[in-house]
């Protein structure tokens, strides 16, 4: 059994070296495919990092009436943090802090500061800043806050305003972008894998055609179907493995060159640092994809065009 497996593997390597030009063509085609797949991974990481930064800037604020008791506000803060949709912590800004922040924002606007001094009292209420775990969940949080105000007796609600509806358009747009990006990345990767399989499939069909006389002789001497198919399967896996190694080597100088550019333009994400820090995962993904594409292509080509 082991002797037969060794012979199949040896024959696969022999077929790979014997058909040097065809093998080189297959490897170059698969390098392009794996490079695009790898580029899709990096683009996905950059897009995800950018979206995470945007998501972090999206929030809703609850503005309270100036007469609201701090204990009631803190109780609502605790109840909000218990919601599964809310990303803790909910940030509490007291009336005094709100006033200090307002003065700092308008420190060069003497007219506004003078008008504020003439009021004699702090006109600002406390606020709660809320972030959702996912942008699509802001609607649920807003409905919860509205129900809190609706349950209170007329004139007794401590909530003055919830700014969700002012931000709703931006939040909905962000949610659509995230969902579209996920679908686009999956569809692009799937299309590239299919194209690669078809190209390698046709390349191996050519190899099988070139080996037709040898196959006929093997059949005449009683070689089993598995023994005949095996070398082509091994050759396909070799195509994929070598292509993956070349692709990984190609990514090193490219990500090194683009590292500072992506760090400056894409919210601080350095693709070279990402490549080196996650090399193990990227290695397994690229090599696994290459071997899988080569092996699947070999299997399909042998099954359809090797008449045994």
Q: What local confidence, expressed as pLDDT, does residue 145 receive?
A: 83
Residues 59, 129: contact at Cβ < 8 Å?
Answer: yes
User: How do residues 191-245 score in pLDDT, each as one tens digit?
Assistant: 776 776 676 667 666 666 666 666 676 667 766 666 667 777 777 788 888 889 9
Q: Is 258 exposed, middle or buried (0-12, 13-18, 19+ CB in 10 A)?
A: middle
pTM comes to: 0.61
> Predicted confidence band at 152 (pLDDT cuts at 50, 70, 90)?
low
User: How do residues 71-80 score in pLDDT, each as one tens digit?
Assistant: 888 888 988 8
Tokens linked to 103: 């003065």
In sequence order, the 6+-apart residues with CB closer than 8 A to the CB of 214 are none
Q: What local confidence, expressed as pLDDT, does residue 250 receive?
A: 92
What radius of gyration, in Å, describes the C-alpha atoms of the chain? 31
Query: 38 or 173: whose pLDDT is higher?
Result: 38
Q: What is the CATH number of domain 59-165?
A: 3.30.70.3040
Q: What local confidence, expressed as pLDDT, does residue 212 receive?
A: 65
* % of the chain beyond a pLDDT of 90: 5
Q: What is the rounded CA–CA span in Å between residue 39 and residue 249?
A: 13
Q: What is the rounded CA–CA span in Å between residue 75 and residue 93?
A: 14
User: How do residues 252-264 score in pLDDT, each as one tens digit?
Assistant: 999 888 888 877 7
Q: What local confidence, expressed as pLDDT, does residue 248 receive?
A: 92
Domain boundaries of the chain, sorted by first residue? 2-54+174-305, 59-165
Q: What is the rounded CA–CA span in Å between residue 132 and residue 83?
A: 10
């Amino acid at each position: 059994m082991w002797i037969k497996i060794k012979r199949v593997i040896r024959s696969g390597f022999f077929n790979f070296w014997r058909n040097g030009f065809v093998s080189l063509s297959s490897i170059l085609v698969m390098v392009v495919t794996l490079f695009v797949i790898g580029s899709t991974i990096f683009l996905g990481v950059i897009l995800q990092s950018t979206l995470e930064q945007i998501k972090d800037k999206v929030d809703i604020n609850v503005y309270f009436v100036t007469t609201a008791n701090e204990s009631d506000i803190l109780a609502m803060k605790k109840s909000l943090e218990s919601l599964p949709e809310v990303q803790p912590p909910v940030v509490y800004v007291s009336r005094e802090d709100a006033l200090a922040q307002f003065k700092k924002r308008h420190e060069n606007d003497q007219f506004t500061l003078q008008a504020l001094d003439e009021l004699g009292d702090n006109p600002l209420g406390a606020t709660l800043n809320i972030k959702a775990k996912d942008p699509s969940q802001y609607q649920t949080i807003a409905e919860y806050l509205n129900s809190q105000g609706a349950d209170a007796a007329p004139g007794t609600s401590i909530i003055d305003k919830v700014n969700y509806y002012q931000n709703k358009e931006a939040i909905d747009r962000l949610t659509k972008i995230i969902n579209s990006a996920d679908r686009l990345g999956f569809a692009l990767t799937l299309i590239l894998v299919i194209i690669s399989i078809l190209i390698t499939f046709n390349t191996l069909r050519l190899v099988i055609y070139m080996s037709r006389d040898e196959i006929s002789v093997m059949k005449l001497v009683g070689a089993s179907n598995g023994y005949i198919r095996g070398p082509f399967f091994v050759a396909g896996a070799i195509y994929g493995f070598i292509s993956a190694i070349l692709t990984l080597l190609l990514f090193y100088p490219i990500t090194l060159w683009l590292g500072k550019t992506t760090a400056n333009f894409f919210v601080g994400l350095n693709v070279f640092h990402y490549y080196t820090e996650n090399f193990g995962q990227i290695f397994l993904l690229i090599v696994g994809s290459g071997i899988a594409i080569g092996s699947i292509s070999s299997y399909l080509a042998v099954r359809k065009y090797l008449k045994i």
